[in-house]
Amino acid sequence: MRNRLILLPGWGLGTASLQPLAASLRAQDPRLHVELAPLPELAEASAQVWIDYLDRKLPTDVWLGGWSLGGMLASALAHKRGDHCCGLLTLASNPSFVARLDWPHGMAEDTFGTFLDGCRSHPQVTLKRFRSLCSEGAQQPRTLLRQLGVGVPDTDPLYLANGLEVLAQLDTRQALEHYAGPQLHLYAGSDALVPADAAKALSELLPDVEVGLVEDSSHAFLLEYPQELASGIKSFLHESGDD
């Protein structure tokens, strides 16, 4: 269905973080069916297992999208489905969240390792720190931090740690290069978790794909600017044949 969009959330925060954007999308385009799907909760810390699970659970022939980790998983799934994915939308999703030799635009490996260790030993403290990083760079960080604390699911610490391991494994560059459907990738200009230069690097990697940067916004920019993002997404969907 070219009027159906499935959105996946970021790590640790659940689908509540996507609700304002989904509501704005529905208000601006009543014909668009927006559905929010939670991240997998699996005992296996394998990116391929997670992607295969989502492939079984989510309907085919729809638009796929997501925020941060959710966008990375959507990217991998779009590539897996090929013509059975109408198009792809990502929000603050680094093709590789962790820096690599040929992709320096991510979090340093040792910094990520410390974060993962913290998640295993003190998951609630780590989640609080993560929410703080999500709001860093926002116009009103304290207000955004409170918003990020609403509706956070009580996720088993094992699943949280496994989600971080999947995040570290994912490198969606080849998936994005080989996926032939329409793509829109939006980034935040003051993101404390995904460097803004990842947007420029992705534009160079995919010169024919639409990549946007929202200045003066945080990793959680979908909560800062839901109406503005919805307007851009609506235009993208329609230009790509959704109307």
Catalytic residue (one of 17, 24, 29, 68)? 68
Both tokens of 149, joined, read 């604390």
CATH number of the domain where residue 175 is located? 3.40.50.1820
CA atoms of 2 and 213, how far apart (whole Å): 25
- Residue 68 annotated to the active site: yes
Catalytic residue (one of 191, 217, 240, 242)? 191
Is there a contact between 181 and 88 (Cβ–Cβ < 8 Å)? yes
- Residue 190 annotated to the active site: no
Closest listed residue to residue 33, CA positions, set 2, 5, 63: 5
- DSSP, collapsed to helix, strand or coil, labels residue 226 as helix
pLDDT at 174: 97
What pTM does this model have?
0.97
- DSSP, collapsed to helix, strand or coil, labels residue 186 as strand
User: Could you say which residues of the chain have pLDDT below 50?
Assistant: 242-243
Is there a contact between 95 and 77 (Cβ–Cβ < 8 Å)? no
Read off the pLDDT of residues 101-122 as tens digits, 9 standing for 90 and up.
999 999 999 999 999 999 999 9
- Residue 191 annotated to the active site: yes
pLDDT at 243: 42
Read off the pLDDT of residues 28-43 as tens digits, 9 standing for 90 and up.
999 999 999 999 999 9
pLDDT at 242: 45
Is there a contact between 154 and 166 (Cβ–Cβ < 8 Å)? no
Kindly report the backbone phi and psi dihedral angles of residue 189, in degrees, each rounded to the nearest multiple of 5, phi listed first. Answer: -70, -25
Domain around 182? 4-242
Task: Say how many domains are in the chain.
Answer: 1
Q: What is the DSSP string of 73-84?
A: HHHHHHHHHGGG
Q: In 10 A of CB 156, how many CB atoms?
A: 12
CA atoms of 38 and 43, how far apart (whole Å): 15
Q: How far is CA 223 from the centre of its chain?
A: 13
Kindly report the backbone phi and psi dihedral angles of residue 193, in degrees, each rounded to the nearest multiple of 5, phi listed first. Answer: -115, -30
Read off the pLDDT of residues 41-72 as tens digits, 9 standing for 90 and up.
999 999 999 999 999 999 999 999 999 999 99
Catalytic residue (one of 218, 219, 240, 242)? 219
Beta-bridge partner residues of 64: 6, 88
